[in-house]
Amino acid sequence: MAIDSSLSLTAFVLFVLMLCLPLPSVAVPSEELEIAISVLRVRGRALFANAITTSDILFDLLSAESLTLLVPTDAMLFDLDMRYSLPMYISTLRLHALPLRLTISELRSLPNASSVPTFLPSHSLLLTKPSSSDSVYLDGVEVYLPGLFNDQHIAVHGLANILPLSRSRWAELENRAFALPPMVDSPSFSPSYSPAYSPSFSPSYSPSPRSTWWISPSPEDYIEFFGRTPAEPPRIGEVPVSQPPLEEDLIVGDGDSWTTGF
């Protein structure tokens, strides 16, 4: 009887310990995110939907337990894509995603001047609420169309404008985007010849830079390709085309007999 009581007590203690253990985190279901993206496409936010599905932001969204998307219109996002570099574009997209689900009622219930985290590291949004209305502002931008999509793990709201990055963040990304790689000197040209062959030039010969450009990581105009996004591919006209040299000697053939008399 004492053994049975001891076993029952042990089982009860183990059961209590299992209840105290933290539950495993549940990531956002991909099916739910696909539905939210489909809703964005039919509600005039297709560019935002395409942007998050074709960038590394998608992996961060799927690894979160819940999230909120703050979506600008296609026209706003297109203007951002055309004006700024790719790092700035991606960082701005991260600013429009929150790693927690917040419905419009939950946003309104937050205290004024609350700090809301985003998927952009070390950057949060300042929530403000005017006392005269139920409007909610994030970094000065109004949540204009609340509740575009609501589900168990995801909430989506439309914005009246693009959320701006801080000036310090812009400067940091600008410097990173246009930091050119170091210039690499061309390796010395040292051709090898068989003993039967002796070149006619003297041992002090050194080839011109043009003869060695093809074996060196020649520094191209990298700056021409920085800041381009899939919407702005490099232009074909930027590639120079070398013309073949003109022949100095003209060969007179049968077709010239009417002018030469031969």
With a CB cutoff of 8 Å and minimum separation 6, the contacts of 41 are 49
Pairing of strands 154-159, 67-71: parallel
pLDDT of residue 171: 56
Domain positions in the chain are 30-176
CA 80, 83, 85 angle in degrees (round to 5)? 90
pLDDT of residue 83: 82
pLDDT of residue 233: 43
pLDDT of residue 164: 85
pLDDT of residue 161: 93
Alpha carbon distance 153, 156 (integer Å): 10
The DSSP bridge partners found for residue 230 are none
CATH class of residue range 30-176: mainly beta
Q: Which helix (H) or strand (E) holds 108?
A: helix 104-109
pTM: 0.58
- Residue by residue, pLDDT tens for the chain (262 residues) are 555 556 565 555 555 555 554 444 578 999 999 999 999 999 989 999 999 999 999 999 999 999 999 999 898 888 887 888 888 889 999 999 999 999 999 999 999 999 999 999 989 999 999 988 899 999 999 999 999 999 999 999 999 999 988 655 555 555 554 443 444 444 443 444 444 444 443 444 343 433 333 333 333 333 333 344 444 444 444 444 455 554 444 444 444 444 444 4
